Structure 1
Amino acid sequence: MTDSDINEQPAPEAGPDIEAAADAILKLAAENAELKDRALRTLAEMENLRKRTEKEVADSRAYAVTSFARDLLTVADNLSRALGSVPEGEDNAALKALTEGVGLTHRELESVLAKHGVAKVDPQPGERFDPNLHQAMFEVPDPSQPNGSVVQVVQPGFTISGRLLRPAMVGVSKGGPKPEAGLDRKA
């Protein structure tokens, strides 16, 4: 056989074997793309789950003491009332010592609450009423105060890690001038 004989031979025809191989390659390529897409989606879902779990764990840590802190607030309130009921200018040494001890206990309790993320919400008179932090207990007709501003604080409120634990109970002015637009509550 010479070179000219080889060149003159007809080219092999695309037979059933080549077509079957091409079909198999196309099927494998489609399956590969589908599996790659599934793998990417699974990785994305796992990443989202990881982030969500991290957030839930952080929230759980931050708010784990919520019910316990809420129960301790009544103790703090009672200590405040005890300190407020002592008459000013009393010369009794035993009463002074008791008052001092109750005051130290009250400050220590507030310190421990603050250490665990519990912060006091103590609105000042004249501050604008904020329904997210305050609970209106009564209205006071006072034309000298802007309508809807805090006039009296009945009980301070508390937040835990920025979330409201108990609203501040306040008296709100009624009948005064409308509050100026754009005024936010005092920081």
Structure 2
Amino acid sequence: MAKNNNEVPINGLYDDEGRIVDEQAEEGRGENVTESVEEAAEVSLSKEELAALCKESVCPGCDVFKEAESIRLRALADSENVKKRLLRETEELKKYAGESILADLLPILDNLDLALAHTDGLSAECKNFVIGVDMTRKIFLDAVKNHGLETVQAAKGAEFDPEIHDAVGTVQESSLGDNQIAQVVQNGYRLKGRLLRPAKVMVNKL
């Protein structure tokens, strides 16, 4: 049927062949086309994109959810371990902050000990000087003890312990047992339980 130019359609428009086209029908077809495109787009998603969508709204029993939860828990555990390690290192740094300074002060104690070790046959005037040196040593030792420095146990007749003693030589004394300390050459020190310097000793070997 040919299209009459004077005719005005009531419910629609003419198509190219002169037929009246229903707008509602056209709209319905347009919606169907849109839905088909959306369905095609959903089908064309990659596995990674589908996994990402699944993680956003996934059921607790899904394998993807379990994997995501496992990753989250591992990340939390790693974060907690790092936090604990940093806290431990900070506390240890504070505890032994003065280690290098106290280590530099040890030669002063060594020289005072050496001076007091050679006091035989001195005059009365020199003995008074020795008393002053001994008092200075005690005051100095008390000061460093307040910062956690303590002397390593080492005395003549004590058993040699390689953990805290450093053998610088051997002697033979019948009055001492084997592997006992015969002489303390240099005192050793600990700082808050940590060995700062081992005691240097002569060990008896029979």
Same fold by TM (over 0.5)? yes
Q: Any idea what the Cα deviations from partners look like across 1:125-160, whole Å, max 9, x if unmatched?
A: 221111110011111112442221111111110111
Q: Which runs of 5+ in 2 are unaligned?
A: 1-38, 44-50
Residue of structure 2 aligned with 1:124, choices 150, 155, 160: 155
1:68 aligns with 2:101: yes
- Distance change >3 Å, CA 84–CA 140, structure 1 → 2: closer
Q: Which runs of 4+ in 1 moved over 3 A?
A: 23-27, 83-90, 98-101
* Cα drift, residue 105 of structure 1: 2.5
Which SS does the other structure have where 1:147 is aligned? coil
Which SS does the other structure have where 2:196 is aligned? strand
Bigger radius of gyration: 2
TM-score by length of 1: 0.70
TM-score by length of 2: 0.64
**Identical amino acids, percent of aligned pairs:** 33
Q: Any idea what the Cα deviations from partners look like across 1:148-181, whole Å, max 9, x if unmatched?
A: 1111111110111222111101110111xxxxxx
Q: State the distance in 2 between where 1:121 and 1:38 align.
A: 50
* Cα drift, residue 34 of structure 1: 2.2
Q: State the distance in 1 between where 2:70 and 2:92 align.
A: 33
Which SS does the other structure have where 1:137 is aligned? strand
Residue pair 1:62, 1:117 contacting (<8 A) in 2 also? no
Q: Which residue of 2 aligns with 1:182?
A: none
Residue pair 1:148, 1:172 contacting (<8 A) in 2 also? yes
The code of the aligned residue for 2:112 comes to L
Give the aligned CA root-mean-square deviation in angstroms: 2.7
How many residue pairs get matched? 153
Q: Which residue of 2 aligns with 1:174?
A: 205
Residue of structure 2 aligned with 1:53, choices 79, 83, 86: 86
